Amino acid sequence: MLKRREIDFQIFEMLEAERLCAQPAFLSQDRETIDAILDSAQRVADETFATHTALTDAEEPQFVDGRVRMRPEVKSALNAFVDGGFMGTSFPERIGGLQLPYIISQVINWIFSDANVGTAGYPFLTMAAANLIQAHGSDEQKQRYMLPLIEGRWFGTMCLSEPQAGSSLADIRTRAEPTGEGDYRISGTKMWISGGEHELSENIVHLVLAKVPGQAAGTRGISLFIVPKYRLDEHGAPGPRNDVSLAGLNHKMGYRGTVNTLLNFGENDDCRGYLIGQLNQGLAAMFHMMNEARIGVGLNAAVLAYSGYQHSLDYARNRPQGRPATQRDPSAPQSMIIEHADVRHMLMRQKVYSEGALALCLYGASLVDRKQLSASDEQAAEIELELSILTPLIKAWSSHYGLKANYWGLQILGGYGYTRDYPLERIYRDNRLNPIHEGTNGIQSLDLLGRKVLQNQGAAFRLLMTRIGETVSACTGHPVLGEYASQLHQAQMRVLEVTTALGKLASGGGIASLLANSWTYLDMLGHLVVAWMWLRQAVVAQVALDQPGGDQAYYDGKRQACAYFYRWELPQVLMQADQLLAMDDSVLTLRDEHF
């Protein structure tokens, strides 16, 4: 359930998408054109995606005779998606794209994922694969492999993990032996491959991490290969099967519409792959795309959080149950449960988590656009720096708190929420994936504290603090917002203190102690950043409220939600700062038998 009002607020009011779209780098787009594209996306999503969400959850893809059998509605929906021109939204017009800003493509993602997150998985994986080839492929590779992806004729996958190597990609075992004919013979097993096998498209382009024998151990010996399901003939048409076979399907708690596979490469020693980018630069190429993939995961988590919020809000407005505590007459009519204080808390928690996460993820997406538009290398580097520290927060905070939002949404529906008759049950299962994939939240916390915060003498962290400080300064002394600015500043000073202390620990060589409580650090910094996002939303709301005219209730709701976040959530930052400042690393000295 999607409220278009919220999309408009997030992109046009918060991120000035209209001005962004008018930049020459994009096809000249006015508000009307963007609105028409979003209307069209919503229509396709409503008519073809939302109609089979429960169905493909109940009847997940099956492994039959080495092939994947799935509901036919998935293919019909994806055909409509491709026909609607949504596959290439952010790609240049000259290669068949719509040349829209990245944030608009993310809003389209929002619309389709809200309707059916399982079916939406295929095109978004395909776009990620096309993006990677665009960034690192040769001209020939772009011509032969990227264009059919953007045209939606072929679909793509990312093959990173293996059964024994998930978080630790250094330990992958898939091999790529040069054939002497310019290509490579691939052999190995890849795990958790979404969209790894299906009959939804004419071909599947796997992007596969593998090691060429004789190169360095660990991550510095990893290269990236294009491995098509069907090899191409000289005209680029799919020819004979490549030696990639489906070894099994993973049966997941949720996201069941997206088939998830175990793939064997080269069982018959005849799997051909084509190096993309430089030898041994495979992980770097893959991580180049990781920012965007992680924005995508964060956004999906935020979208599911917001969907759950809207569904539970609808239920709360229409379910009569109980009476106010002051109503002693049992024959009085029952209240709608939205009247109960505890239900309102559950709604507000969902609102501050989901709209806070949406604001954060879309802010991150806007940095991708601003980087593209930047006037100088220095400016681009600065934007990249800001995005680099926000990325683990976008991924991990949104998925951790997005799931909490769904917990409260389901709780509002009570027993009904626990049944498959209402969508909260499915949304809750779907969203449980997001803290896990694209790097678990624990891995994100190591990335944040071990790399992003401390590297370059803390440059990214300082930049983030400057950005938050700018919003604080702009609000200081304001009759309504000044109070929040002051609270945010206070929390920011505590976070700075913690980070400085941890920096000293790091320079003293205490890397293990530094990282001992990395999740708490991410949780703290994420809450600070989302408090900043809420103040940014309140600023925009306040400007609107100061003008006469309609929609006051919507903006007042934003201001109320900001107040709620500062009252009930921000204190966690101070508490966690105290905990971290204690510099306790006793978790390191626990022994196995203590558990």
Single out the segment in contact with a copy of itself by CB under 8 A; choices: 369-377, 455-463, 469-477, 552-560: 552-560
* Torsions phi, psi for 512 (to 5 deg): -65, -45
Per the document, the length of the chain is: 595
* Torsions phi, psi for 61 (to 5 deg): -55, 145
Give the nearer residue to a copy of itself in terms of CB position, either 334 or 379.
334
Whether the CB-CB separation of 219 and 169 falls below 8 Å is answered with: yes
Query: In the complex, what is the shortest distance from the CB of residue 588 to a copy of itself, in angstroms, rounded to a whole number?
Result: 6
424 CB-near residues (< 8 Å, 6+ apart) = 308, 311, 312, 406, 409, 410, 413, 417
Site string for a copy of itself, 289-328 (x = CB under 8 A): ------------------------x---x--xxxxxxx--
Query: In the complex, what is the shortest distance from the CB of residue 42 to a copy of itself, in angstroms, rounded to a whole number?
Result: 21
> Residues 347 to 406: which contact a copy of itself by CB under 8 A?
347-348, 351, 403
> Residues 122 to 151: which contact a copy of itself by CB under 8 A?
none
Single out the segment in contact with a copy of itself by CB under 8 A; choices: 196-204, 371-379, 384-392, 587-595: 587-595
444 CB-near residues (< 8 Å, 6+ apart) = 294, 392, 393, 395, 396, 522
Work out the angle between the directed axes of helices 518-545 and 552-568 (0-180°, nearest 10).
150
Give the nearer residue to a copy of itself in terms of CB position, either 543 or 588.
588
Sign for the pseudo-dihedral over CA of 482, 484, 490, 495: negative
Pairing of strands 222-228, 203-211: antiparallel
> Residues 254 to 283: which contact a copy of itself by CB under 8 A?
254
Q: Which among 523, 537, 117, 107 is positioned nearest to 359, based on CA atoms?
A: 537
User: Does 438 participate in catalysis according to the annotation?
Assistant: yes
Query: In the complex, what is the shortest distance from the CB of residue 1 to a copy of itself, in angstroms, rounded to a whole number?
Result: 13
Give the nearer residue to a copy of itself in terms of CB position, either 429 or 462.
429
Q: Report d(CA 480, CA 538) in Å as an integer.
A: 9
Whether the CB-CB separation of 196 and 113 falls below 8 Å is answered with: no
* Torsions phi, psi for 193 (to 5 deg): -90, 105
Query: In the complex, what is the shortest distance from the CB of residue 403 to a copy of itself, in angstroms, rounded to a whole number?
Result: 8
Interface with a copy of itself: number of residues (CB under 8 A): 103
Q: Which among 303, 321, 323, 320 is positioned nearest to 311, based on CA atoms?
A: 303
Query: In the complex, what is the shortest distance from the CB of residue 506 to a copy of itself, in angstroms, rounded to a whole number?
Result: 11
Give the nearer residue to a copy of itself in terms of CB position, either 268 or 586.
586
Instruction: Note whether 433 binds a copy of itself by CB under 8 A.
Output: yes
Q: Report d(CA 87, CA 20) in Å as an integer.
A: 21
Residue type, 229: K
Give 261's strand partners: 193, 249
Give the nearer residue to a copy of itself in terms of CB position, either 104 or 544.
544
Instruction: Note whether 588 binds a copy of itself by CB under 8 A.
Output: yes
Query: In the complex, what is the shortest distance from the CB of residue 208 to a copy of itself, in angstroms, rounded to a whole number?
Result: 18
Pairing of strands 184-194, 175-178: antiparallel
> Residues 198 to 237: which contact a copy of itself by CB under 8 A?
217-220
> Residues 438 to 497: which contact a copy of itself by CB under 8 A?
440-442, 445-446, 450
Q: Which of 234, 377, 546, 593 binds a copy of itself (CB under 8 A)?
A: 593
Q: Which among 353, 325, 396 is positioned nearest to 569, based on CA atoms?
A: 353
Whether the CB-CB separation of 119 and 49 falls below 8 Å is answered with: yes
Give the nearer residue to a copy of itself in terms of CB position, either 230 or 519.
519
Query: In the complex, what is the shortest distance from the CB of residue 15 to a copy of itself, in angstroms, rounded to a whole number?
Result: 23
Give the nearer residue to a copy of itself in terms of CB position, either 80 or 583.
583
Pairing of strands 222-228, 260-265: unpaired
* Torsions phi, psi for 207 (to 5 deg): -105, 115
- Residue in 199, 438, 483, 593 annotated catalytic: 438
Single out the segment in contact with a copy of itself by CB under 8 A; choices: 196-204, 344-352, 469-477, 525-533: 344-352
Half-sphere exposure of 589 (CA within 13 A, CB side): 4
> Residues 154 to 193: which contact a copy of itself by CB under 8 A?
161, 164-168, 170-171, 191-192
Give the nearer residue to a copy of itself in terms of CB position, either 488 or 522.
522
Query: In the complex, what is the shortest distance from the CB of residue 581 to a copy of itself, in angstroms, rounded to a whole number?
Result: 12
Instruction: Note whether 503 binds a copy of itself by CB under 8 A.
Output: no
Q: Helix, strand, or coil here: 364? A: helix
Give the nearer residue to a copy of itself in terms of CB position, either 221 or 238.
221
Single out the segment in contact with a copy of itself by CB under 8 A; choices: 64-72, 115-123, 251-259, 464-472: 251-259
Residues catalogued as catalytic: 438
